[in-house]
Amino acid sequence: MKKLLILFFVIVAFVTIHAQSSNPEMDSFITDLMNKMTIDEKLGQLNLPVAGDIVTGQAQSSNIAERIKNGEVGGLFNVKGVEKIKEIQRVAVEESRLGIPLLFAMDVIHGYETAFPIPLGMAATWNMEAIEKSARIAAIEASADGIAWTFSPMVDISRDPRWGRFSEGSGEDPFLGGKIAKAMVYGYQGRPGIDLYSTNSHIMACVKHYALYGAGEGGRDYNTVDMSRIRMFNEYMYPYQAAIDAGVGSVMASFNEVDGIPATANKWLMTDVLRTQWGFNGFVVTDYTGITEMIDHGIGDLQTVSARALKAGIDMDMVSEGFKTLKQSLAEGKVTQEEIDTACRRILEAKYILGLFDDPYKFINPERAKNEIYTPEHRAIARQIATESFVLLKNENETLPLKKQGTIAVIGPLANTRSNMPGTWSVAVNLDVPATLIEGIQRVGGDNVNVLYAKGSHLVSDAAYEERATMFGRTLHRDQETRTDEEMLREALEIAKKSDVIVAALGESSEMSGESSSRTDLDIPDVQKTLLKELVKTGKPVVLVLFTGRPKTLVWEHQNVPSILNVWFGGTEAAYAIGDVLFGDVNPSGKMPATFPQNVGQIPLFYNHKNTGRPLAEGAWFEKFRSNYLDVTNDPLYPFGYGLSYTTFDYSDVRLSATEIDMNEYVTASVTVTNSGKRDGAEVVQLYIRDRVASVTRPVSELKGFEKVFLKAGESRTIDFKITPELLKFYNYDLEFVVEPGDFDVMVGGNSQEVKRARFTLK
């Protein structure tokens, strides 16, 4: 019986994995349908226009409805509201000639109405189960509201925190990024062979932005990217590939150029690598106006760039309306019928796989929308996950956790805002619902805590800058604030005097990171820093609750503020979660998914760098004719993988099962980790590897494994990491994925710098 069951699952797995490539029933259904389609209707399927302002009850008469009836639209995105979506779908199914259902998409990036921490914060949990769960809940809520396709996960590796979209990714490491990509895809779509698209709450994911979008020059959004292929493959590509291996249904092209050709027209990227090398068989959509932007990139007019995009392997045009010109290109022999048919088939396949031809209303169910969105259960999970995303950067004299008694002064421009709590890219969230930090602290602290509040300062001194940094309804109400920063500071100091402890809620507003929010200065903004300095001067214990969408420069804060809790933007439940951690109901366990530099001049600063021919000795500072700076050490302020707890963890030496292995063997590296403090807590045990000698230069350290373990006070656990030759593979000069014999350092610890070491030889 057991054997039969296993056989059954193997067959199901095979069938689902190959669903897109070999499903005769689907193939013949689509062939029949395509035989009935005109060229215009085929091009219509490739078109993803802006929905415009569709008002419920009036979808029928909206401008877009006409186009849907004419078969000019394949899908719509960022329309919110199940009734609206139902109406629009009805127009497509009942009033267009062939009744092909539309694909409704949205940027469901870190949750739908129940928002989880921003992706960078999710990465700081290092908890793949939690990440998958968050995507699962996002899919349940989004699908209940009519959404079948999400533009997530965003897996762009970045080493430049000046880039605003650092907040949307998983940080600087491809191994961690790849694991997260997989977990997200599974959460949205289900797992191949188990539950892929198996219910009306499994939606299609879209991995983005392929490729290298996080490597724009100077950290400026949309900027030029230029890097060697060996770097691409060893350091940037893995997360995209991991999403594809997990079965992701769609890919979004990035805005940037790769090797001198915009990704959107880059055939090598979209076809040779994506399809031929990696075996992707879903569809590729451009990013927003990705096709028209190629006119500004300087590679041709709309007709030319549209043809180039199609020929490169793009299937769907988001917003540009450029694919309309393909009809003329076809007539002029510039594209082929086969190229158009291939793209059209891929879009129809996606709709088929999602089950839209069986039931166009599969994801449109007003009953579900009432019962499954922003539920107490989802909110409780979001709160718990948010607590895991916070990173304790410093905690002198056990300033934290706070006592649930006495007077707490909550001060800062981010203390009393709802709309800034969820974080950037939370389009479906109702911005009035998140609790403010003041409310969160009061709720968790209880009746014996007296909470006082003062704003203390504006977000930044420059009002125009503040306006740019508080768009999309995330205002901090500066317009209603008639006081000067000096007056606000005076009030804050009065309140601080009356308190036992100060919680300073400072940092970035939510729109200071995210798309088109690059910055050159990564300090806490000017007026806030003045406020913080004055608060520290009072001599009261100060806890800095740092809101940020990126690594920041915090040297002064690290040297002068007793306690720093980095909370990123924690989603709709952030305020309560921050309360949970501040008062010690939850012990913080987040770890940095990216390096925090000492200053902007060090950027790019990342842990997995090369050694160079003139490395600086470990722990040294300046040495003439070595690779270093005159004015600052090479060290980060906080290294990758770093994060404190209210307890402490001790690591034993690393024990290896063997010091010499063959290509067909593996080594087990073991460490015993002990919770040596007084509180229960979780630790992320991290495994790093260094390939000592190879045919090409290799990084000084590479994450190759991690495990998050919960240990009671005093408890010890042995963690085993299996190191196989496969795990040691890299792309060589000829871009072959190889493992080469030689010596390997094994490093295990609680962050990328403080590690225990051992070495083995691969023969």
Q: Are 709 and 673 in contact (CB under 8 A)?
A: yes
Size of residue set near ligand NOJ by CB under 6 A: 6
Residue facing ligand NOJ at closest CB distance: 151
Site for ligand NOJ in 513-532 (CB under 6 A): 515
Name which of 264 and 417 has its Cβ closer to ligand NOJ: 264
DSSP string, 161-203: TTSGGGGGS--S-HHHHHHHHHHHHHHHH--TTTTTT-STT--
Shortest distance (Å) from residue 166 CB to ligand NOJ: 14
**Cβ at position 173, least distance to ligand NOJ in Å:** 21
Considering only 208, 474, 519, 704, the residue that binds ligand NOJ (CB under 6 A) is: 208
| CB-nearer residue toward ligand NOJ: 222 or 268 | 222
Q: What character string, x for contact with ligand NOJ (CB under 6 A) and - otherwise, covers 281-310?
A: ------xx----------------------
Complex with ligand NOJ: residue 110 or 708, whichever CB lies closer: 110
CB 651 within 8 A of CB 750: yes
Q: Which is nearer to ligand NOJ, 19 or 431 (CB)?
A: 431
When the beta carbons of 65 and 154 are compared against ligand NOJ, the nearer one is 154
Give CA–CA dist 389/122, Å, rounded.
6
Rg (alpha carbons) of the chain, rounded to whole number: 27
Give the strands of the sheet with 149-150, arranged side by side: 75-77, 103-106, 149-150
Task: In angstroms, give the least distance from the CB of 163 to ligand NOJ.
Answer: 12
Under rule CB under 6 A, which residues in 255-274 are in contact with ligand NOJ? Answer: none
Q: Residue 287 or residue 702: which is nearer to ligand NOJ going by CB?
A: 287
**CB of 726 vs ligand NOJ, minimal distance in Å:** 33
* Cβ atoms within 10 Å of 468's Cβ, excluding its own: 14
CA distance 286 to 265: 10
Q: Where in 461-500 is the site for ligand NOJ (CB under 6 A)?
A: none
3-state secondary structure of 719: strand
- Residue pair 394/563 in contact (Cβ under 8 Å)? The answer is yes
| Sites for ligand NOJ among residues 89-108 (CB under 6 A) | 107
The token pair at 267 is 């055939």
Non-local CB neighbours of 480 within 8 Å, separated by 6+ positions: none
Between 287 and 388, whose beta carbon lies closer to ligand NOJ?
287
CB nearer to ligand NOJ: give 192 or 422: 422
Could you tell me the smallest distance in angstroms from the CB atom of residue 593 to ligand NOJ? 19
Name the residue among 389, 339, 411, 461 with its Cα closest to residue 126.
Answer: 389
Q: Which two tokens stand for residue 249?
A: 């249904």
| Residues in contact with 456: Cβ distance below 8 Å, sequence separation at least 6, in sequence order | 411, 412, 413, 488, 489, 491, 492, 504, 528, 531, 535
Give 288 or 465: the residue with its C-beta nearer to ligand NOJ: 288
Min CB(155)–ligand NOJ separation in Å: 11
- Taking the alpha carbons of 445, 449, 452, 457 in that order, is the dihedral positive or negative? negative
- How far apart CA 327 and CA 337 sit, in angstroms, is 10
Secondary structure of residue 683 in the 3-state scheme: strand
Outline where DSSP puts E strands in 324-370: none
Nearer to ligand NOJ (CB atom), residue 264 or residue 563: 264
Q: Which two tokens stand for residue 629?
A: 């700076």
Residue number with CB closer to ligand NOJ (119 or 551)? 119
In the complex, minimum distance from the CB of residue 151 to ligand NOJ, in angstroms, rounded to a whole number: 4
Query: Is 287 labeled as catalytic in the residue annotation?
Result: yes
The neighbour count for residue 376, using CB atoms within 10 Å, is 8
Cα–Cα distance for residue pair 266/77, rounded to 1 Å: 25
CB of 76 vs ligand NOJ, minimal distance in Å = 12
Tokens 């965003």, residue located: 154
Looking at beta carbons only, is 107 or 691 nearer to ligand NOJ? Answer: 107
Q: Figure out which of the listed residues 151, 238, 547, 649 binds ligand NOJ, where binding follows CB under 6 A.
A: 151
Site string (48-87) toward ligand NOJ, x via CB under 6 A? ----------------------------------------
Three-class HEC string of 609-649: CECCCCCCCCCCCCCCCCCCCCCCCCCCCECCCCCECCCCE
Residue 119 CB, nearest distance to ligand NOJ (Å)?
11
135: left (phi over 0), alpha (psi -120 to 50) or beta: alpha
- State the virtual CA torsion across 516, 522, 527, 533 in degrees, nearest 10: 160
Q: How far is the CB of 63 from ligand NOJ (least distance, A)?
A: 20
Terminal alpha carbon distance of the chain: 43
Closest to 634 in 3D by CA, of 646, 623, 643: 623
Between CA 373 and CA 203 the distance in angstroms is 15
156 binds ligand NOJ (CB under 6 A): no
What string of DSSP letters covers 483-514?
S-HHHHHHHHHHHHHT-SEEEEEEE--GGGSS
Q: What is the closest distance, in whole angstroms, from the C-beta atom of residue 351 to ligand NOJ in the complex?
A: 19
577-614 exposure pattern, b = at least 16 Cβ within 10 A, e = fewer: bbbbbbbeebbbbbbbbbbbbbbbebbebbbbbeeeee
Nearer to ligand NOJ, 29 or 288 (CB): 288
DSSP structure string for 25-62:
HHHHHHHHHHHH--HHHHHHHTEE-B---PPTT-GGGS
Closest distance to ligand NOJ from the beta carbon of 437 (Å): 28
| Closest to 25 measured CA to CA, from 360, 315, 358, 361 | 358
d(CA 54, CA 65): 9
Q: How far is the CB of 292 from ligand NOJ (least distance, A)?
A: 13
**Among the options 160, 173, 287, 691, which is catalytic?**
287
Distance separating alpha carbons of residues 87 and 85, to the nearest angstrom? 5
What is the distance between the alpha carbons of residues 727 and 762, in angstroms, rounded to a whole number?
12
The residues annotated as belonging to the active site are 287
Binding positions for ligand NOJ, rule: CB under 6 A: 107, 151, 208, 287-288, 515
